[in-house]
Structures are given as C-alpha cells and as structure tokens.
Structure 1
Amino acid sequence: MTGVMALHKRLREETRTLHEDLEHAVAIDEQISSRTRYCAYLARLWALYSAAESALGSHDFSALGFNYGACRRSQLIESDLSDIGVDLVNLRNAIRPKAPALPTIEHALGCIYVLEGSALGARAMAPEVETKLGLTGTYGAKFFWGYGEEGKPIWRAVLASINAIDPVSSEAERVIQSAQATFLFFRRWLPECSAAVTTSAVA
C-alpha cells in the first residue's frame, strides 16, 4: 500500500476542521480563568466522557492489546471535582447527553481516538492550570496531567489498531465517521451543556 496515507493520518486530516471548531468554541483559557468556571467545565466534560465511556463498555479490546476500562478519563475528572468540593451525588444524578452509537469495533476506535487525543492535548494546558488555579496532578487537575507512563501503551495500541485497518476500506470509513460524530457530540454539549453541580470553590 505504498503511497497510501496511514489511517491515523487520514483521520487527523478528516477531523481537523471539527477539532479546530471545538477548540474555538470551548475557549479553554476562559474555562480555567477561575475555579468556579473550571468546576463547571469539568462537570460538563465528565458528563461527556462518562457517556462515551459507557458506550465503549460493550466492546472488548483485549484482542487489540489494551484494556480501555483501566484508564477511564471520567475517573480522573470525578477525582478532580471531589478535590475541589463538588457534590458528586448531584453530579452523578445529572442527566447526561447520549453518546453516539458504537455498533462496531471500528466505531469504538474512532471514538477512543477523539477521547484520548483530546485528553493528551489537555496535558499541554496542565502547567497553566497549576499557575492560574493552584491545581496539580495530584490535586484538582489529574485529568489535565493524565495517566503519565501508564496511559502511553493504550494510546500506542489504539493507533496501531487504527493503522492496521486498510485506510481506503469500509472499516476505515466507520472509524472516520465515528470520530467525526464524537467531535460533533463534544461540540454540541461541551461549550454549553448543563450539569447539576454543587461546589464550594470560589472564583
């Protein structure tokens, strides 16, 4: 398949506009401008990650060399919110938006590509979160710092699984369609999605 773009590169190109639009809509600098805004942002992020991870729960990735349930990002977000005083009972009882359907393993890979890629991108903002809000990888900003070395094998396995798919096949189209649908899911709900949150954080 010399001369054919690897699927993860095609995936990046075909989601680039959606990715850039999401970043613009979220305006992360504004979301970390105070602890109050940060808490509200994390609550919305938790709702989306937990919904997507629930949809992914019906798939077994062991044949692809990874266990996605071992490093769920929603767990980090919950821990962060608990650190800074959010009522997790209210959070868990809030209505979550429904994630896009993931009927095949290819759809699941497209979704994970967005979830993990976004989480890895958040790592670049971690020092700024610490500077502005005083939150760290052990208190209040675990999501931004991520799983460190523990999470790298999963990302590598996901990329390897994506690149094992013929980039001009129907399977590839399912990966791309799902990644695009996941970006649109985040675009619809992350900038303005409401979640019932009680927090003792102050601006």
Structure 2
Amino acid sequence: MTVPPKSLPLILSELRIATTQQHQLLEKRIPFFTSDQALYTRLIEAYYGFYRPLEAMLFQMAMTIPDLDWLIRSKTPSLEADLYALGLDAEAIKAIPLCRFGLQIRSAADVLGVLYVLEGATLGGQSMRNGLYARLGIDEHQGGRFFAVYGTSTLVMWRGFLACLYEVREPAERAQSVVAAEATFKAFENWLERCGVLQ
C-alpha cells in the first residue's frame, strides 16, 4: 500500500496516487505535438464532445460550491470558439457526437473529483501551449483558446480550485472524489479512443 505524503492534504495525495498512472499513460497518447491541423481539429471536436455534456452534468451541483467560480471555469465556450475559428459552422458543431456518461454527480465531492482531472488538464496545457501554437500557426484567438482559457490567471484559478478541494476531508467524501476522478480519466480515454484521435 502506498502511503500518501504527509506534506500534502490527504485528498490531494489520494487523488495523485489513484490517478497518476492513468494520467501519464493517457497524456502520452494524445497528439499534443501534432503539426497536422486536420488532426488538431478532430481533437478539439473530441474534447468538445466530452466537455459539453460533462460540464452540463456538473453545473447544478458545481454552482452550490462556495468560491468555486464555476461560471468562469467552464471550458465549453472556449472549445466552441476554437471550433468556429477552425472553420466549423453552427450546424457542424451541433452535429458533433456527445459522450454519454455513466458517472453520477450527487455531491460536491463528486464534482471536485471530476474537476481535479479537468482543472489539472488546464494547468498542464500551459506547458505545451506555445509549442502547439507554433506548430499549428494558431493562437488564443485563432483555434487555441482552450489552451489559454484562464490566460495569466491559470495558477490563481488552480489555487482557487485546490482551496475548494481541501474542504473534502471526510473519508467517505474523499473516496467519492477519488472514484469520480478515476472514472473521468477512464471515460476520457475511452471517448478519445472512440473518436480515433489517440496515438
């Protein structure tokens, strides 16, 4: 059994231990280093098909979490803006297949477990953004808004999320967050596989 580091809040340690391998394996398969704009467009379509229904599921419960600032955390508007910038029209965006989730969102702990994955992806995206922009000839106004969604406030938004996450203290609630995070990673991998964008 792996013992969580004592220097981190239990919930963050448990989430990292439970999902690090999933995260690393999936990250290697997503074509972040492509210079093929058609593949990139398909990737953004796949992200949109995942984020839009998932964020709709999170909305009601997420709005009840103090200081989460859910309305500025939603990535769906940025993905939609990217799709328009990449040449899709409203009809094409409406036709993008949407992921169906088995995950049930019943509590703030569930929401925060899912957001550990989504907010972590936003944070991690900053390290590859400039290279992605250079290879594809895009920027935050021309197809790459999703990777710059918080702009210079990325670290502030991550810390704000962690402050909410650290309120998940009870063992049963922590377990719910971990299950939700693991399920989100698995659903994302399965969805990207189905969309044919993984390497």
Scaled to the shorter chain, the TM-score interval is 0.7 to 0.9
Give the equivalent residue in structure 2 for 1:123. 126
Q: Is the 8 A contact 2:123 2:154 kept in 1?
A: no
Are residues 1:44 and 2:46 paired? yes
Are residues 1:89 and 2:91 paired? yes
Q: CA deviation at 1:183?
A: 0.3
Q: Could you tell me how far apart the structure 2 residues matched to 1:54 and 1:146 are?
A: 18
Letter in 1 for 2:109: E
Are residues 1:14 and 2:18 paired? yes
Q: Is the 8 A contact 2:62 2:111 kept in 1?
A: no
- Report the more deviating stretch, 142-151 or 178-187: 142-151
- Report the more deviating stretch, 171-180 or 92-101: 92-101
Letter in 1 for 2:135: K
Q: CA deviation at 1:106?
A: 0.5
Give the equivalent residue in structure 1 for 2:158. 155
| Residue deviations 1:1-22 (CA, integer Å, cap 9, x gap) | x948511122112100110121
Q: Could you tell me how far apart the structure 2 residues matched to 1:40 and 1:63 are?
A: 33
Give the equivalent residue in structure 2 for 1:68. 70
- Report the more deviating stretch, 83-92 or 33-42: 83-92
Q: CA deviation at 1:126?
A: 1.1
Letter in 1 for 2:90: L
Q: Could you tell me how far apart the structure 2 residues matched to 1:22 and 1:41 are?
A: 14
- Pairs within 5 Å for 1:22-41: 22-29=26-33, 32-41=34-43
RMSD (Å) for aligned C-alpha atoms: 2.2
Q: CA deviation at 1:120?
A: 1.7
Give the equivalent residue in structure 1 for 2:141. 138
TM-score normalised over the length of structure 2: 0.86
Q: Could you tell me how far apart the structure 2 residues matched to 1:44 and 1:184 are?
A: 15
- Report the more deviating stretch, 168-177 or 91-100: 91-100
TM-score normalised over the length of structure 1: 0.84
Identity %: 24
Letter in 2 for 1:53: E
Q: When the two structures are aligned, how many residues end up with a matched partner?
A: 191
- Report the more deviating stretch, 107-116 or 142-151: 142-151
Q: Is the 8 A contact 1:137 1:144 kept in 2?
A: yes
Q: CA deviation at 1:105?
A: 1.1
Give the gaps of 5 or more residues in structure 2: none
